[in-house]
Structure 1
Amino acid sequence: MNKIVQESTIRCPSCGHENCEVMPEDFCQWFYECHSCGTLIKPKAGDCCVYCSYGTVKCPPIQAGSSCCGQ
């Protein structure tokens, strides 16, 4: 079994700013505010969370091979 990676770097689709964040294990993060420009980032259609859409690492449930938050 692969180790679950807890950190992911989110890249803002508006300004390109990147920030490393620790991902929550027990809920999907549907919104993320860019630390640089203040844009409220939402997941792309078909993705469960902002980490799956804009992060360097998918969220913990997806890494584990299960659906994320009931999807």
Structure 2
Amino acid sequence: MTVTIESVITCPSCSHQAAEIMPTDACAYFYECTSCHLLLKPLAGDCCVFCSYGSAKCPPSQEQKGCCA
């Protein structure tokens, strides 16, 4: 299985999109939108901002290892 490490985060407030490289060994629990500066946090049930707002889930979730245990 090929793991994607790039994800496009879409801000739920202003719809700004930014391509980001995801960490492979840590969670990104916070992300500040570069356009409106809203501080994003994971939605209930998600482990990180990439799982909530990204075009690809975080690498540990992609590999079904569980994120940030």
RMSD of aligned Cα (Å)? 0.5
> How many percent identity over aligned positions?
57
Alpha-carbon offset, residue 64 of structure 1? 0.6
Matched to 2:2, the amino acid is K
Name the CA distance, whole Å, in 1 between partners of 2:42 and 2:24. Answer: 17
Report runs of 4+ in structure 1 exceeding 3 Å deviation. Answer: none
Distance in 2 (alpha carbons) for counterparts of 1:55 and 1:18: 9
Residues in 1 aligned to 2:18 and 2:2: alpha-carbon distance in whole angstroms: 22
* Superposed counterparts of 1:53-64, under 5 Å: 53-64=52-63
SS at match of 1:53: helix
Cα distance, 1:56 vs. partner?
Answer: 0.3
Q: Which runs of 5+ in 1 are unaligned?
A: none
> What is the TM-score when the length of structure 1 is the normalising length?
0.95
Measured after TM superposition, the shift of residue 11 of structure 1 is 0.2
Question: For residue 41 of structure 1, what is the aligned residue in structure 2?
Answer: 40
- Measured after TM superposition, the shift of residue 66 of structure 1 is 1.1
Alpha-carbon deviation of 1:69?
Answer: 0.6
Measure, in 2, the Cα distance between the counterparts of 1:45 and 1:63. 18
What TM-score do the two structures reach when normalised by structure 2? Answer: 0.98
Corresponding letter in the other structure for 1:19: A
